[in-house]
Amino acid sequence: MYWNRKAETLKPGELRRLQGKRLKKVTKYVYRNSGFYKKKFRDLGLKPGDIRGVEDLGRLPFTRKSDLRDNYPYGLFCTGLESIVRVHASSGTTGKPTVVGYTGNDIELWTEVMARSIMATGSTRKDVLHVAYGYGLFTGGLGLHYGGERVGCTVIPASGGNTARHLLLMQDLGSTVLACTPSYAVYLAEYAEKEGIDPREDLRLRVGVFGAEPWSEPMRKRIEDALDLKAYDIYGLSEIVGPGVAQECEEQCGAHIWSDHFLPEIVDPETGEQLGEGEEGELVFTTLTKDGIPLLRYRTGDRTILEYDKCSCGRYHPRMIKVRGRVDDMLIIRGVNVFPSQIEHVLLRIPEVGSHYLLVVEREGPLDVLTVKVEVTEDVISDRVRDLMKLEENIKSSISQALGIKVDVELVEPFTLERSKGKAVRLKDLRE
């Protein structure tokens, strides 16, 4: 299902020509309007006219999150504040927040790609869209809200928190599409079960739009089974536009990047060298149509793979495979690279394991030690101690076989680990 069939089904040649035209335009635009980029260009001995098309993308400078922080708050804006109609920002938990500004054109662009994303899941104006992402400086809630209204959905701006109210609204208002983080979807399912609410009987949900954190295929299956819906991955980041940069279609074979607006590439996280189709590396974006704060070759920190073949849905827009993890979330345990999502993939294939876990990294002498705290299901708690020991050994063995490392495992009772109404906390690093 399409929102904008013409734009969503551009042939590869047409798409590349459009990208090249827009790349040349945005290169000239940032050079004229951004002192930050003008200096970058001069340092490289580069002029806007040197960029003739997509084939020259690798000549442009990288942009990093630290650049936004170093130029806080408005140093990377390409327009005056009189043209900025909205500002969003990160939480700033690790320092100053990253601030992004939107012109009226940028809001229209965001609304357009969100409308595409919502309809790519098979959702239509007949649906009731329950938005449980936070509203405010976080881009999630408003992005889904505007896109849903553009499609014509009945939008419920429920925002985050107050799980009992969410379930009440979903029952009484007949919500058919749920938008939130995958970890909160799991929490909703748990809460519903505790309250005796059966999603198959008491809710009308059929579609879930989940993002803002990495999640695995086993997690998808658990959510689909628990809430009786079809779960789709949405991808975005506030620096680029917010949610709606990429979206899974009904084929569920990777999220289509709306590459007529966001030009993607994969680079080696260490060297910055461009990698080819099918190679895993760091995802990088160049915004092609933004006015307020366009970014050249923004390094997202997310590790993934791009595929460019035609999708069965009819779209040629490249598909990004589920994010494996963030470059800065990668753990090196005894010489082995480990991502939290890899461990999740192993855990959720074991029936006795619950949907919540926590990785705790500590240092013992010169060695790093990883402990995996795992909630077990209700029925396991009543089993004999011997059965629990057997489950613990099974988990250790499964992780060791999959990742090639030995870990400590601690089984805990259901609802022991802290829940989050936003992004899940999966890692606690105690090495410092």
At residue 226, what is the residue type?
A: A
Q: Domain ranges for the chain, please list them.
A: 1-327, 330-429
Digit-coded pLDDT (tens) for 30-50: 999 999 999 999 999 999 999
Q: State mean pLDDT over 233-239.
A: 96
Determine the pLDDT at residue 389: 84
| pTM for the whole structure | 0.87
Closest by CA position to 261, among listed 234, 295, 218:
295
Let me know: does 1 contact 124? Beta carbons within 8 Å.
yes
- What contacts 45, CB < 8 A, 6 or more positions away? none
Average pLDDT, the chain: 92
Q: What sections of 98-239 are H helices per DSSP? A: 104-120, 140-151, 163-173, 182-194, 199-202, 217-227
Q: State mean pLDDT over 245-261.
A: 98
Q: What is the share, in percent, of the chain residues with pLDDT greater than 70?
A: 96
In terms of average pLDDT, the best of 137-146, 330-339, 370-379 is 137-146
Digit-coded pLDDT (tens) for 349-358: 898 888 889 9
Mean pLDDT is lowest, of 187-201, 312-326, 374-388, for: 374-388
Q: Does residue 93 register a pLDDT over 60?
A: no
Q: State mean pLDDT over 361-377.
A: 84
Determine the pLDDT at residue 234: 98
Mean pLDDT is lowest, of 103-117, 165-179, 364-378, for: 364-378
Mean pLDDT is lowest, of 90-104, 308-322, 328-342, for: 328-342
Digit-coded pLDDT (tens) for 142-201: 999 999 999 999 999 999 889 999 999 999 999 999 999 998 999 999 999 999 999 999
Could you tell me the two tokens for 400?
A: 């060791």
Instruction: Please tell me the CATH code under which domain 330-429 is placed.
Output: 3.30.300.30
Instruction: Please tell me the CATH code under which domain 1-327 is placed.
Output: 3.40.50.12780
The residue ranges of DSSP E strands in 293-400, in sequence order, are: 298-304, 306-307, 319-320, 325-326, 331-333, 336-338, 353-364, 367-376
Determine the pLDDT at residue 327: 77
Q: What is the share, in percent, of the chain residues with pLDDT greater than 90?
A: 73
Please state, as a whole number, how many other Cβ atoms lie within 10 Å of the Cβ of residue 420: 16
